[in-house]
Structure 1
Amino acid sequence: MRARPWLLCISAAVVTVNANVEKTVFLGPAALHLPPGWPSLEDLHVDTLTPTGPSLLATQLPVQFPTEKTPRGLESWYILRSLERGRRYEVRICWPAFQPTDFWLDTFPVDQVFDTPELLSSLAEYSQQRQSAPLQKLQHSSATPQSVLFLRIQAAASYYSTNKTLMEYPPPVDVDIILDPFILNILPHSLGPTAIYLSAVAVAAWFISGYIYRAIIAVSEELDEKDHKD
């Protein structure tokens, strides 16, 4: 049976709407010297995102169903590097709608993580798990002052299935993690082209509507003059 054209259009629309988004907005911190005795960021084996690249990380995040001990599921850690002090940034995480998941995104200064036992323990545990994983990071000397933040992502599966195996071992979620700087601390950089396009459309619509209005007035006046002559 041949598919009807309108069914193909509906199918295309359904495929297009296939992702959810969660985000957090923050300001770049002041550059920081890592004091002696603190762990080197290069030794943590944690993926790094920077505004100039790589600013997008496509990966899989492990998840679990909420428990009393872990109400927000599993935690993953990342480093946000080469930030500008006082500049506004946005981190977004996008994932397929067919993988229902709840995400929480938090950013922490380096000193806060290293000085907070709970955060440091979570980071250390994640770092240990990542020792054999392929790494996407930039090499920087820890002696150089750096504007750096830690990003913690908590992920909890949010669906129910009669499949016991699936409930005990939910599969990892495919995600894109994006670091997006703001333009003049007002608009995310990725939305710049969209804003320019909408502005151009608005300006064009204003001129076109004015032209159409004047044309309608001219036709109306011409019809009035014709009626008076008749």
Structure 2
Amino acid sequence: MKKLPIHFGVLSALTSTIIPFATANVEKTIFLGPPPVNIPTQKPTLSDLNLPSLTPGNSSIRTELDRVFPSGPPDPVAGQATWLLLDNLVPGQRYEVRVCWSAVWSSKEPTSFDLEVFELNAVWGTPELIQSLAEYASTRQPPDSEPEPQPQVHHDTSDETGERSSSVLLLRVLAAADYFTDNAELMMNPPSVLVDLILDPFLLNVLPRSLLPTSGYIVVVAIVTWIVARWTASYLGSITRPRDPAKKQQ
């Protein structure tokens, strides 16, 4: 009797293992931690922008992102901008930032996301980016607060009083409604979408840290499935194999 193919059982086990994790939509961007820069600790500072912050020690934020409908020429808008600060990164370390949102929500009111990271000086030197950042930061200020001057960043890595050195990036998330409806209110003011924003470092710059338990679980399941498949194939072969006539006469 021909033995059952083992790879079929392994494939089935892997499929059944992976499917439960496909419960949400994910958009991501991958980048390297930049060289550290000196950031003044006296006002104005980056903290005065009141941006949500992701760090290796505080790697997840659940929040609601505002959305708009993308517009066309002559003033194209790819989505509503939300800015975050990525702080205390490790220079040269590979990271992944993901935005995850419910698959149930996306089936009702689909949303498209665009994620992009920028070094600080790239934002300060680009009028469109600094304007977008300033507009978002203004919505994060306490009532009756006056706008702060633009924070300054120095590339001198020497230790100086009143400065801290850190590898930082600015993350811009553009959220755009990706549906059409005859409801005029929904078209004019699409509701915000609940998302998880996650900063995930890579282990050895190869595998995202969050996938390590899942990968280990899949490997264990694959090994167990392979052993069971081998035992099953051997057992079925033994009970269906014709007996030796000489032994049967004895």
TM-score by length of 1: 0.80
Checking the alignment, whether the CA contact within 8 Å between 1:24 and 1:90 is kept in structure 2 is: yes
Checking the alignment, whether the CA contact within 8 Å between 1:33 and 1:142 is kept in structure 2 is: no
Checking the alignment, whether the CA contact within 8 Å between 2:97 and 2:198 is kept in structure 1 is: yes
Rounded Cα–Cα distance in structure 2 between residues aligned with 1:19 and 1:169: 24
2:25 aligned with 1:20: yes
Partner SS state of residue 170, structure 1: coil
Unaligned runs of 5+ residues in structure 2 are 1-20, 144-160
- Decide which of 222, 228, 245 is 1:202's aligned counterpart: 222
- Decide which of 170, 182, 202 is 1:150's aligned counterpart: 170
Instruction: Within 5 Å, give how 1:70-149 maps onto structure 2.
Output: 70-95=76-101, 96-97=105-106, 98-132=108-142, 143-149=163-169
Checking the alignment, whether the CA contact within 8 Å between 1:41 and 1:142 is kept in structure 2 is: no
Q: Which residue of 2 aligns with 1:66?
A: 70
Partner SS state of residue 59, structure 1: strand
Rounded Cα–Cα distance in structure 2 between residues aligned with 1:37 and 1:72: 35
Shift in Å, 1:70: 3.6
Shift in Å, 1:77: 0.3
- Specify the code of the residue in structure 2 equivalent to 1:31: P
Please tell me the root mean square deviation across aligned C-alpha atoms, in Å.
Answer: 2.6
Checking the alignment, whether the CA contact within 8 Å between 1:109 and 1:148 is kept in structure 2 is: yes
- Specify the code of the residue in structure 2 equivalent to 1:24: T
Rounded Cα–Cα distance in structure 2 between residues aligned with 1:118 and 1:207: 59
Rounded Cα–Cα distance in structure 1 between residues aligned with 2:96 and 2:112: 18
- Decide which of 180, 184, 205 is 1:164's aligned counterpart: 184
2:61 aligned with 1:57: yes
| The 10-residue stretch of structure 1 (181-190 or 201-210) with the greater mean CA deviation from structure 2 | 201-210
Which digits, 9 at most, give the CA deviation of each residue in 1:24-73, with x for residues without a partner?
111111111137999521111101011221x1111111111111324312
Shift in Å, 1:216: 3.9
Partner SS state of residue 165, structure 1: helix
Aligned residues: 206
Checking the alignment, whether the CA contact within 8 Å between 2:32 and 2:92 is kept in structure 1 is: yes
Q: Which residue of 1 aligns with 2:146?
A: none
Rounded Cα–Cα distance in structure 2 between residues aligned with 1:108 and 1:38: 22
- Specify the code of the residue in structure 2 equivalent to 1:84: V
Checking the alignment, whether the CA contact within 8 Å between 2:54 and 2:84 is kept in structure 1 is: yes
Q: Which gives a bigger RCO, structure 1 or 2 (Cα 8 Å, sep 6+)? A: 2
- Percent identical residues: 42
Partner SS state of residue 175, structure 1: strand
Unaligned runs of 5+ residues in structure 1 are 1-15, 134-140
Rounded Cα–Cα distance in structure 1 between residues aligned with 2:236 and 2:41: 77
Shift in Å, 1:215: 3.3
Rounded Cα–Cα distance in structure 2 between residues aligned with 1:30 and 1:142: 19
